[in-house]
Amino acid sequence: MQELPAQTWGTDTGQSPIYFAHANAYPPGSYVPIIEALSGYRQVVAYKQRPLWQPTPDPDSIRNWHDLADDVIRFFDQQQLRNVVAVGHSLGSVTAFLAARKRPDLIKALVMIEPVALPWVYCALTRLFPVLVKQRVAIINKALGRPNQFESLQAAFDFHRKPRAFKRISDEHLWHYIRAGINQSADGFTLTYPREWEARVYATATYFRNQLCAAELPVLGMRGGHSDTISSAFWERWQNNPHHQFAAFPEQGHLLPLENPEGVIRAMRPFVEQHL
């Protein structure tokens, strides 16, 4: 059976590592400041989700995010990881949460940074009308329309410096993403994370709000004030869960850990230290 790929940071001390779960289209190296902060506690292991496997599987190999959560379980079993503290952003936090729901022995506490907690209606539409969703949903079309090749890393940086989605990210932190997200190959500089996979993940969004609101797993939830994945109504509802803690960042958006890694580190330290 194929061994699933991962990156590690820090020294293996024999203690359970911290698991880091990256977002859709953002490889683990995009989060250098946060991962380095976590590696001050324990070795950090960041599993590379299916779009980063080599060779890259067909995007149609997943039906929903439960398939990606099952990959996480398989990775934990291969690495013999149990009872770890996990930190995830966006899709990564959701796949870690779903994996923990299926296998409570794997994760004992979870930091969920901007989880993609979309309403039931949207998730249902992706199942019932996949072709229509692919044609009509702007974020899917935008992903498919991204350039797949660049002349250089600088050209890739210049391209990503312009979009509104990256306006709150400093040059320094944007470069972390560029170095992780652009790969030099025989054909030049290409996206490490295929755009077709980015679109497929958006098109297979999976509903889990009710599970999250009822979960007894210790969770620290983080939301940016400009979030487009956690509505203010659901954010308020989620906070009724007595087992969860929360941190709000009014000035940030969905790319919170790239926009304000220092703030994320400050907010997660007490929670991580409590559960290690």
Domain boundaries, the chain: 6-275
Task: State the 10-residue block means of pLDDT for the chain, 276 residues long.
Answer: 92 94 97 98 97 95 96 98 98 98 98 95 72 65 86 94 91 97 89 94 94 98 96 97 98 97 98 97
The per-residue pLDDT for 121 is 82
Instruction: Find, among 220, 223, 212, the residue nearest to 254 by Cα.
Output: 223
| Interatomic CA distance for residues 192 and 186, integer angstroms | 13
Asked if 258 and 31 count as a contact pair (C-beta separation under 8 A), the reply is yes
| Interatomic CA distance for residues 88 and 97, integer angstroms | 9
Question: What digits encode the pLDDT tens for the residues 106-140?
Answer: 999 999 999 999 988 878 777 766 665 565 666 78
**DSSP per-residue letters across 108-121:** EEEEEES-----HH
The per-residue pLDDT for 5 is 97
Biggest CA-to-CA distance, the chain? 53
| Interatomic CA distance for residues 86 and 66, integer angstroms | 18
The per-residue pLDDT for 142 is 81
The per-residue pLDDT for 167 is 93
Q: How far is CA 70 from CA 62, 65, 165, 193, 207, in A?
A: 11, 9, 30, 20, 16
The per-residue pLDDT for 140 is 83
Q: Which two tokens stand for residue 184?
A: 């030099």
Asked if 140 and 202 count as a contact pair (C-beta separation under 8 A), the reply is yes
Cα dihedral sign for 135, 137, 138, 143?
negative
Q: Which two tokens stand for residue 185?
A: 């190959």
Residues contacting 270, CB < 8 A, separation 6+: none
The per-residue pLDDT for 107 is 98
Q: Which residue has the tokens 């098109």?
A: 203
| Interatomic CA distance for residues 108 and 135, integer angstroms | 40
Say which CATH superfamily domain 6-275 falls into.
Answer: Alpha/Beta hydrolase fold, catalytic domain (3.40.50.1820)
Instruction: Find, among 124, 72, 120, 67, the residue nearest to 93 by Cα.
Output: 72
